[in-house]
Structure 1
């Protein structure tokens, strides 16, 4: 079994699963405090429906990938890497947004949830449905991000799915430790550590996405000779350059091959590739600088992308 392929999805699902578990735990604690513990069944129903909905979404993504790949055999070498690239971009956007949003909102999450549940409890006949919707949304939101990540690496579908299952199990264990057995866990340190790991995993996804688009355009240029000009670098500058990724700056096929340990582990976790190109380096650096900078700002509590306010000039005449 390729455990290296299990780790990235495990890490992502563990982090997102703990977030969903915190939502569930806060809602259950508030219901107990409000003497409405009988509504807990709606919470657990929401967890179950959310997991089922996430599985259905994953199945639909799998069907879409398989169907599109078989729809046109001539363009199959183009469709497969193109789909991987598209899903990678979607996963990058969703995971980056959730990393920044959740870090920013963590301080106020408990109060916001209690306010939402309090509003729901004011409508007795609809309280259960409102709580159900709240929990389903929380679970599906986290599950959808994992589905996108798995879809972006669908050649590792079985192992990625196994990692997701293990991540959910680990998140459930942490939830039991927190809420049932009262074990103290430094959640702040946990989310900071997992946030840095997630940042590096998504940065690796940037490198992989660029490689997928490069492979798709290269295959398309081979099929349709009229499209050879799409390979900007190899057609206009050097035949030794990649199609759209520019000249190679690293060849680790002998020193650190990506199909052997530890290269395979680095590849699965952080997107390491034994053939690294200039555009990939630029994309990786820009992502780390932009999203990483915003992440550190959110940890410190400072506003994201702050703009300095201008002090108006005093134009009063004396």
Structure 2
């Protein structure tokens, strides 16, 4: 409730001041206030519509997309409130005087409708910023009702203060007011930075830097005053993560220093350029240090995975994935399966992005015999006589015809075999050897035909853990050694550009001094007249 109250009060007061000053000038000069009030009403309606539309769109999205939109809205809100804080910190002392001067100029030029347009744009700007900021605060708030109540109270208070200022019954030190409320809003905006980083993680956008660094559960207990202050007002959760703490400090410290650094100790002239160059250099050094010293991520390396038969026939072996082939060894018989990357399809296995191949079932590396003895037939049938074969009347040998079917599926990620399974059905058709007609049986014979097998659950879990760890390490390096250095590098370039501008301004000021620092003109000494000299 408190954050939304302060937001509504600050933004509402800015709009109320502008509207009040414009209204006073219009009335003083005998102009109608109707166009101005129409503009204000339209601006308020548009601002409310923006907030409602954004809220409806957010609620209509899937959960992950909602979290992503909350991150975007939070980031926009932080930009808005930061700009507001910085602008007010710079202009609050002369805000009323500047507005009066602009209004007076417009009236003198006969542009009364320009003042009405100024009121419309001012209210629209503040209303749009308030809608976005309140929407982001509502998303982070524990109670939507209290948050909305605080916003309404803040706006109503701003309107009443604006009326009081307009009527002359309220005297308000704008510089002090905006300075103190600015400090509170800096904390709220830092909390929004933290919340935006958390929702970005929940949306799947930010998966690095999620190491828990603090445990505030003893302080942030639901229902306590501390919980309402830290979580409800300042947006600090009970389990802040590393990236969240860094983001919170990275926003809070520089903005607070900018706003509250003593004016008497602030850099002037060429000192401003030196400070900006120093900051740019520090940012560049940190960026280069992250790139150079953050650990590199290698490709996961695992031993051959264990496989076992899945057709009720005792058997085990291994499966080893290389760059372009899968080597399967089952019951001492080896098979090489070529894996063409062009024939792989992108898929997901247990939440892990993977490549998938689906191929015909692979048989052993020994040519299947075309003739079988009765002993060989019993061996192929798992030590049992096939149904319909009698050793007295069907002594063999038999003519053998083989027909294989089934498929082999392989999943891999980062060169690691995630899973593999072969479902095969080999049909052996016998004839001759005393048989009155052909007999067909299903056999499991890895040395001659395709066998059904799969990776053991332990091997599949070990591979999944290795890939998950590799993905996490890659995400960490991408954040700390790529994305963050790029952001710091851009910030260094922007800061250095500001430093160059400050340096040019300082040099220009030194060449063309103005004010009390300018050297006064020395009047020429009058020459004595000849007559005076003669005397």
**Aligned 1:149-168 pairs, distance under 5 A:** 149-155=133-139, 157-168=144-155
After superposition, where does 1:45-64 map in structure 2 within 5 Å?
A: 45-64=38-57
| C-alpha distance after superposition, 1:6-63 (max 9, x if no partner) | 221111110111111111222233334xx41433333333322221121111122122
Runs of 5+ in structure 1 lacking a partner? 1-5, 70-75, 221-229, 232-243, 313-318
* Distance change in 2, residues 1:41/1:80 (3 Å): same
Give 1:119 deviation, angstroms: 4.0
Contact kept in structure 1, 2:4 and 2:154, CA below 8 Å? yes
Deviation at 1:185, TM superposition (A): 2.9
The alpha-carbon distance between structure 1 residues 38 and 95, as it changes in their structure 2 partners (threshold 3 A), is same
Pairs aligned (count) = 273
- 1:101 is matched with 87
Is the contact between residue 78 and residue 189 of structure 2 (CA under 8 Å) also seen in structure 1? yes
Q: Is the 8 A contact 1:258 1:273 kept in 2?
A: no
Q: Distance in 2 between matches of 1:97 and 1:252?
A: 31
SS of equivalent to 1:184: coil
Deviation at 1:247, TM superposition (A): 1.7
Alignment map for 1:119-198 (pairs within 5 Å): 119-122=105-108, 124=110, 127-155=111-139, 157-180=144-167, 182-198=169-185
Cα contact 2:59–2:66 (8 A) shared by 1: no
In the TM superposition, residue 212 of structure 1 has moved relative to its aligned partner by 0.8
Structure with bigger helix share is 1
Separation in 2, partners of 1:52, 1:86 = 23
**CA 1:27–1:302 in structure 2 vs 1: closer, same or farther (change >3 Å)?**
farther
> Whose relative contact order is higher, 1 or 2, with alpha carbons under 8 Å and at least 6 apart?
1
The range that moved more, 196-205 or 36-45, is: 36-45
Question: 8 Å contact 2:219–2:227 — kept in the other structure?
Answer: no
Aligned to 1:250: 214
Residues in 2 aligned to 1:279 and 1:44: alpha-carbon distance in whole angstroms: 46
RMSD: 2.8
Contact 1:84 1:209 in 2 (8 A): yes
Structure having the larger proportion of residues in strand: 2
**Quick check: 1:146–1:164 contact (8 Å CA) kept in 2?**
no
Give CA-to-partner distance per residue, 1:63-114, whole Å, 9 cap, x none.
22133x1xxxxxx231111111110000001110111012212233334323
Unaligned stretches of 5+ residues in structure 2: 275-502, 508-535
Separation in structure 2 between the aligned mates of residue 185 and residue 167 of structure 1, nearest angstrom: 16
Contact 1:251/1:274, CA 8 A, preserved across alignment: yes
**Within the alignment, does 1:307 sit opposite 2:273 as a pair?**
yes
Structure-2 change in CA distance of 1:287 and 1:274 (3 Å): same
Greater shift, 52-61 or 38-47, is seen at 38-47
TM-score by length of 2: 0.47
CA distance in 2, matches of 1:298, 1:61: 40
1:16 corresponds to: 11
Is 1:29–2:15 an aligned residue pair?
A: no
SS at 1:251 equivalent: coil
Q: Structure 1 residues 11 and 154 mapped into 2: Cα distance closer, same or farther (>3 Å)?
A: closer
Distance 1:30 1:149, change over 3 A: same
Contact kept in structure 2, 1:214 and 1:245, CA below 8 Å: no
